[in-house]
Structure 1
């Protein structure tokens, strides 16, 4: 996830990548997205519809957990956002889209923290 200023707010790598290389890769992705042509709807390489659905579902899960998520929720609760992402995607593959199942580990953690 990148904000409108091009700053990375959330990233996940499924193979080891050095920190210096990550910055270069993320800058390349942002540059690619910002320089796309006007008639180009997206910069996605795989099935665009599935990518849209995944992003939309991820935002819906974040909204459900944070009650109208904003970027500050992501910045200050990065561990929880990573848990959500890890429940949805494992090893680069979508494994779960059901919102209740995705949020189950966080619900259990929150219950433990409250007691």
Structure 2
């Protein structure tokens, strides 16, 4: 007989999905459960209110690759902010914290390969949750492009924006399921291809 405490321990071990994935890696049902559980946990976390003011992607050389603003500002002010933030983050030691107090906001950033992903949030918002949001966006890019790199962002920037818009609207996380977000993007690609084929057909 298994005690209630043992059941609870089993559940706690299974929650991240690691035990299920390791013990039954050949079972598609268990992998689906793992993905569904991860999406569920992420959705539950994102119930916590998190307001993102803007998102910046830039290279180690300081080249801006993507910018998304959820706060209305003049273009001149945006350029000034971008220069300042890029300089602040690139001058920081890699061993230091990924959180920076900046004016009345907080900068949360993480480096993936040659790209820095930076979000500006309210001072009282959760920094670790913001890192999860950044990581989920990178996962979406990986899932769409297949091991995304800087060149993918440069030559397919409209796709990177589309993925971001499917994920975050008005500075708040809207779609927590990776599968649903990527499916919407793939459907949009199919529609675009259909329209292009129709437009390229001869009139007669």
* Fold match by TM threshold 0.5: yes
Structure 1: 5+ residue stretches without partners:
none
Indicate if the aligned counterparts of 1:96 and 1:102 stay in contact, CA closer than 8 A: yes
Root-mean-square deviation over aligned CA pairs: 1.9
1:85 aligns with 2:141: no
Deviation, 1:13, is 0.7
* Greater share of helix: 1
1:76 aligns with 2:155: yes
Give the greater-gyration-radius structure (CA).
2
CA distance in 2 between partners of 1:61 and 1:107 (Å): 12
Distance 1:78 1:38, change over 3 A: closer
Structure 2: 5+ residue stretches without partners:
1-56, 101-105, 107-124, 195-204
Distance 1:27 1:108, change over 3 A: same
Match of 2:79 in 1: 23
Distance 1:103 1:39, change over 3 A: closer
CA distance in 1 between partners of 2:151 and 2:63 (Å): 13
1:99 aligns with 2:149: no
User: Normalising by the residue count of structure 2, what TM-score does the alignment of the two structures yield?
Assistant: 0.51
Distance 1:34 1:109, change over 3 A: same
CA distance in 2 between partners of 1:43 and 1:107 (Å): 34
* Greater share of strand: 2
Indicate if the aligned counterparts of 1:2 and 1:8 stay in contact, CA closer than 8 A: yes
Indicate if the aligned counterparts of 1:2 and 1:10 stay in contact, CA closer than 8 A: yes
1:64 aligns with 2:139: no
1:109 aligns with 2:162: no
Question: Number of residue pairs matched?
Answer: 115
Moved more, 87-96 or 38-47: 38-47
Indicate if the aligned counterparts of 1:3 and 1:9 stay in contact, CA closer than 8 A: yes
Deviation, 1:54, is 0.9
User: Normalising by the residue count of structure 1, what TM-score does the alignment of the two structures yield?
Assistant: 0.86
